[in-house]
Amino acid sequence: MLKRKNRALQFGQFLALVASLLVAGQIGFTLYQGTPFCLNDGCKIVEKLTRVSPLVFNAVGLFFFQVIYWSLRAARGERRRLPAFVPVLLLAALGVEAILTSFQYLVAHTFCAYCLTILGVIVLLNCLLGFRQILAGTLVVATATLAFASLDLHQPAAGQQAFTAGVFASRTGVSKYPEHYLFYASTCAHCEKVIAFLKTNGRVTVHFNPIDQVRTLDLANATINAAYAPASNKALLAALGISEIPVLMTRTPDGWIVRRGETAVLAALDLPPPTETGGQSAAAAIPAMPPASAAPLAIPGLDNSDGCQVSSPDCTTPGQPPAH
């Protein structure tokens, strides 16, 4: 039994050394190339969602594995010589990795191959310390994972909350991304044509933001949110300097694409998703919203568009309110 424990500690020392070399190589690659090395795209996605530089993560990781390596080496394969802080340090690292892995699964929806490799090394180092360490590590991972999973990480910020507060209904299509937000009125003839088109196009995901009070939406598989605020939709259009509907706002990784008018909106909804074309729409991306006093934005599709006035959306001809 003693001999097996000695071999376990010796293997742990070797494992900590290999991990140190791996992390040091990652630091060198990052300094040389400017980006970390990874076998899949998950690293780039996770990197964009974190506030700490990968160099900082790797520097801390290198220091951690070096402490473990020299501590195991000082133990000389004997458990009684092992510093008391080593099991605690390994449990702390396991808790951190549990949180980072939960973040990748629940928030980033992708995994970083390099991060999973480091996780595997830390799990194995804990297992080499025996049954008690395995039991303690299981409790640490379960606690950290459950605590992270209990957090609501999808609450919108203040500006986004005012935007999403105007969503009356949502229809998830075959393609979850990109997400479209349709600003319309129940009395707008051009808007009715857009919604009629969506009845035959179940591919796209659309959220519906009416500027007036509506109660129903004649669209299959639409989830209704009765507690919406149509005034927030009008306020958003006014802030953008847009006076006609229908308006389609599309969320992209680079910002927002805004289109106005029946023709432009229908053309956008009929486009295949980016994964099928390998590119983005030709419309301009709007990274930020201008103040309400600013001049109207020069967005392709906004000039001479066929739509109804926001101030009087009950129209039968393009861009003109009805005669009363």
Torsion of CA 56, 62, 65, 68, to 10 degrees: -90
Res 273: pLDDT = 59
Average pLDDT over residues 253-264: 86
What digits encode the pLDDT tens for the residues 107-138?
Answer: 766 788 888 999 999 999 999 999 999 999 99
Query: What are 25-35's pLDDT values in tens digits?
Result: 999 998 988 77
Q: Which residues pair with 179 in a beta bridge?
A: 205, 251
Q: How far apart are CA 160 and CA 273, in angstroms?
A: 24
Give the start-to-end residue ranges of the domains of the chain.
2-149, 158-309
Q: With 90 as the cut, is the pLDDT of residue 247 above it?
A: yes
pLDDT for 229 equals 80
Strand ranges (E), the chain: 169-171, 179-184, 205-210, 223-224, 244-245, 247-252, 255-260, 285-286, 308-309
CA distances to 10, 67, 122, 123, 267 from 24, rounded to whole Å, are 21, 14, 16, 20, 51
What pLDDT does 127 receive? 94
Q: What's the pTM?
A: 0.51
Write down the pLDDT at residue 45: 63
Q: From 256, 259, 254, select the one nearest 242 (Cα to Cα).
A: 259
User: What pLDDT, on the 0 to 100 scale, is given for residue 160?
Assistant: 54
pLDDT at 302 over 70: no
Tell me the mean pLDDT in the region 258-272. Answer: 88
Would you give the end-to-end CA distance of the chain in angstroms? 95
CATH superfamily of 2-149: VKOR domain (1.20.1440.130)
pLDDT digits (tens, 9 = 90+) for 178-234: 889 999 998 899 999 999 998 888 888 899 999 888 888 888 888 888 778 888 888
Lowest mean pLDDT among 6-15, 98-107, 285-294: 285-294
Q: Name the residue among 45, 275, 281 with its Cα closest to residue 175.
A: 275
| 269 and 248 Cβ atoms separated by less than 8 Å | yes
Cα–Cα distances (Å) from 167 to 1, 63, 176, 226, 308, in that order, read 65, 49, 17, 9, 20
Specify which residues 309 forms β-bridges with: 244
pLDDT digits (tens, 9 = 90+) for 156-177: 444 455 567 788 999 888 777 7
- Going by CATH, does the domain composed of 158-309 fall within 3.40.30.10? yes
pLDDT of residue 42: 62
- pLDDT class for 320, splitting at 50, 70, 90? very low
pLDDT-based confidence at residue 67 (cuts at 50, 70, 90): very high
